[in-house]
Amino acid sequence: MTAPELRATASLAAIFALRMLGLFMIMPVFSVYAKTIPGGDNVLLVGLALGAYGVTQSLFYIFYGWASDKFGRKPVIATGLLIFALGSFVAASAHDITWIIVGRVIQGMGA
């Protein structure tokens, strides 16, 4: 690998590692945090908030594969990261469990 290829690979790996860390670091403490927000006492909604990301991500795999073939992988990765960032903003600024679920669904759409 040349130096520019190595830098690009390291940058991309760091972006994905930070994304995964930020996404799954909440898992151990989310049920405790959920009790402090409206609707967080409903265990079904808490489970839905945690699982919505994975379900939505798996549903969008086919679309992103098609889009990657049609438009190239770099524009699809950049678009996915922007959608993921939007979902992260929605989930972080949520004041109840419903908006956390919406944010997690948007995150899954961009993953």
Distance CA 79, CA 87 (A): 12
Mean pLDDT for all residues in the chain: 85
Q: Is the pLDDT of residue 42 over 90?
A: no
Contacts of 104 (CB under 8 A, 6+ apart): 49, 50, 52, 53, 56, 87, 91
Q: Is the pLDDT of residue 22 over 70?
A: no
Stretch 17-41: mean pLDDT, rounded?
Answer: 78
How large a percentage of the chain has pLDDT more than 90? Answer: 10
86-111 confidence digits (pLDDT tens): 998 998 898 888 898 999 899 888 87
Distance CA 25, CA 23 (A): 6
> Is the pTM of the predicted complex or chain greater than 0.75?
no
pLDDT of residue 106: 93
pLDDT of residue 33: 80
Q: What is the DSSP string of the chain?
A: --HHHHHHHHHHHHHHHHHHHHHHTTHHHHHHHHTTSTTTT-HHHHHHHHHHHHHHHHHHHHHHHHHHHHH-HHHHHHHHHHHHHHHHHHHHT-SSHHHHHHHHHHHHHH-
